[in-house]
Structure 1
Amino acid sequence: MPEITEAELKKQIEQSNFAGLYFLYGEEKYLVSHYMKKLSEKASGRQFTDFNFQKFDGGETGADRIAEAAQSLPFFAERKCVLVSDPDADSMKTVEAEKWKEMIMSLPETTVLVVALPNLEVDEKKGKNWKKLIDLMKSNGNVVRFGRRTDAQLQKLLCSGAQKRGCVLSPRNAGRLVACCGSDLTALFGELEKLCSYVKQGEITEQLIDGFAVKNLEARVFDLSKAVLSGSGDRAYSILNLLLEQGEEPVAILAVLSSAYLDLYRVRASVQSGLSATEPAKHFDYARKEFRLRNAERDAGRYPDGMFRGSLKELLAADIALKSSRGDRRIVLEKLIARLLILAERGKTA
């Protein structure tokens, strides 16, 4: 049985047409957890769940105990479910890995074994043990990998989630929520839950998102870059002070600020070359970050090339200063903001 899609998994759960083994993993941990719960609940049934559903922490439980649970018969039911979360194949000794292999290849028809990684990250290219285990599970069960979602997919999920909660969220405002909070589904649905609780059965507007959603570091530093480019020194320093007071690392702040300027420069270069503003996504990693290029398109044409080149030089100098100096890193950032403000002001009059 090969790797299956999310849609195929959803159909199997709805129809109670279960395979004997499922392996759920991938970068999108929210979906791994979501389907892990749905699958184990449906596979174990509604009656006698104390007997027909057993859950194990894969990092603390050995294969012998898991195999014993998998081999035991269900109690007055067609099947039972055994859930194992976050086993670490890379840390398994040879004997333990062989026991896992034996267990997987001898599962009884009355057991649905669900192996899921709601927290653990897997690198199949580097982890030889993981590659062997995943290949084994593909041969004996269904494997589902939940990769990162695109902006469009995230917006669709949020709009659907709002509708299920009795609220209205437009695709445009769903995109705004993604831009504000980032692309992590766990964080996004946490913010959506909060907004829906506030509006009850109304519309989630742009004003509500701006006023209530908790911005991630990227969104807050993006606000910092907008303040600098608009020449609002007071606002720029206010945002910087808040970031530092909240414990954000200066190196992390600088990295995101540099990314904002790189976005602007790349978009400007693309448009000047007769290409679209989204062209950089074909050459750089903008997966689930396409909105950054759309945001950059609004400002990229307002300033001359010299302003961007000068700003990038200042950002590089600040990066070197932060990583090589033992002095006050706050002063490095404050000086940088002052120089970027001067360059932006000169760019307006150029």
Structure 2
Amino acid sequence: MAKSAEQILADLKNGNYAPVYFLHGEEPYFIDLISDFIEKNALDESEKGFNQQLLYGKDVRLDQVVSASRSFPMMGQRQVIIVKEAQNLGEFTQSDFDFSMFENYLKSPQPSTVLVFCYKHKKLDKRKKIVKTLEQFSVLLESNKIYENKVPDWIQNYVKSKGHSINRQALLLLTEYIGNNLERLSNEIDKVLVNFSDPVEINEGLIQEYVGINKDFNIFELQSAIIKGDALRANRIINYFASDPKNHPAVVNIAFLHAFFAKVLLIHHSPDKSERGVASAAGVNPFFAKDYLAASRRFNVNKTIQNLAHIFQADLMFKGVTANIGEAQLMKELVYKLMH
């Protein structure tokens, strides 16, 4: 049966373990979340030495996994077998492999075994018969990457689940710099929260201190300076970037600015100029709608199109197609053109 990560975790927290879990997809975070919970909680510590096996796809065959799953636990009520990196099981890469033995096990699993497959970074081929069998006889999770515009909500919910809160600026910094990499996001947030025993509001200062994203000199602050026409502040940020090009490469900044103005152009052509309408048109979270609305007011349609052309030319210059100048000078010239 196909289930969401939330449904599976709710069942597990209530002590309801299924005989077989097959966790697959491009987002490893939810796969790890579920398999780690089972690894930590399905057995007492005293039972794990005898009744918990961690296998790796590149080291075992599927028939060995099935054989181990049919055995009985030693001096306990349950055994747990977790197949990590299951995408490396050779059988799943063979187009003509006969899954009959595995299918038979799925239809009649050992009730005292909890068998977990962690098939990460890609999805199963749904055209294969084995996938239909898994849908019918196992708990099947398809772990998909979340959309960029859902990241702020995910961050807020994650922080709230830990008993804390996060302010807008900190949320913007994490969203813009880390994106939808949930594993890294959770790790960076945990790096902040581990320092506090009482509830705390994560602010931009804490992000700078514990995550290393400068609250004053970052691409989001550059975007804000461009929107407000603050040339002095924009140049200070560009100079800061130039002093640390490894962590602030021009190619990334150019790509960010292109994505920003492309979304502003979409807003100009959207009939709905409400915050929700703007968010929908630009494909961003409503949390950021005010910034895009402000940009659309400052830069009319023609100027927005002109700015996209400036960014395209800067990209060619950066790549040495039309000219070859230093990153700092290139960014200064680009920002000047965007603002004037």
Find the counterpart in structure 2 of residue 23 from structure 1.
22
Give the drift of 1:61. Answer: 1.9
Q: Which runs of 5+ in 2 are unaligned?
A: none
The answer as to whether partners of 1:24 and 1:32 remain within 8 angstroms in 2 is yes
User: Bigger CA drift: 49-58 or 188-197?
Assistant: 188-197
How many residues are paired up?
326
The equivalences for 1:190-269 within 5 A come to 190-201=187-198, 203-212=200-209, 213-215=211-213, 220-229=218-227, 230-232=230-232, 233-242=234-243, 244-246=245-247, 248=249, 250-269=250-269
Change (3 A) 1:244 1:326: farther
Q: Which runs of 5+ in 1 are unaligned?
A: none
The answer as to whether partners of 1:3 and 1:142 remain within 8 angstroms in 2 is yes
- Across the aligned residues of Structure 1 and Structure 2, the Cα RMSD in angstroms comes to 3.3
The answer as to whether partners of 1:227 and 1:236 remain within 8 angstroms in 2 is no
User: Bigger CA drift: 169-178 or 310-319?
Assistant: 169-178
Q: Summarize deviations over 1:284-312 as a string: whole Å, max 9, x none.
A: 654xx554444323333233444322211
Separation in 2 of the partners of 1:290 and 1:122?
30
1:318 aligns with 2:314: yes
The answer as to whether partners of 2:238 and 2:331 remain within 8 angstroms in 1 is no
The answer as to whether partners of 1:12 and 1:18 remain within 8 angstroms in 2 is yes
The answer as to whether partners of 1:63 and 1:99 remain within 8 angstroms in 2 is no
Q: Summarize deviations over 1:234-271 as a string: whole Å, max 9, x none.
A: 324224314523374x433321221122233333443x
Separation in 2 of the partners of 1:341 and 1:109?
68
Percent identity, aligned pairs only, is: 17
Alignment equivalent of 1:94, drawn from 96, 101, 121: 96
Q: Summarize deviations over 1:123-148 as a string: whole Å, max 9, x none.
A: 45xx457x544322111111123442
The answer as to whether partners of 2:226 and 2:338 remain within 8 angstroms in 1 is no
Give the TM-score normalised by the residue count of structure 1: 0.78
Give the TM-score normalised by the residue count of structure 2: 0.80
Find the counterpart in structure 2 of residue 142 from structure 1.
139
Change (3 A) 1:8 1:275: same
Q: Summarize deviations over 1:99-141 as a string: whole Å, max 9, x none.
A: 5445434532221111123xx22245xx457x54432211111
The equivalences for 1:1-350 within 5 A come to 2-88=1-87, 90-92=92-94, 94-95=96-97, 97=99, 100-117=102-119, 120-124=120-124, 127=125, 132-147=129-144, 148=146, 150=150, 151-161=152-162, 163=163, 168-170=164-166, 172=168, 175-176=171-172, 178-179=174-175, 181-201=178-198, 203-212=200-209, 213-215=211-213, 220-229=218-227, 230-232=230-232, 233-242=234-243, 244-246=245-247, 248=249, 250-270=250-270, 273-279=271-277, 281-282=279-280, 285-286=283-284, 291-322=287-318, 325=321, 328=324, 330-331=326-327, 334-335=329-330, 337-344=332-339, 346=340
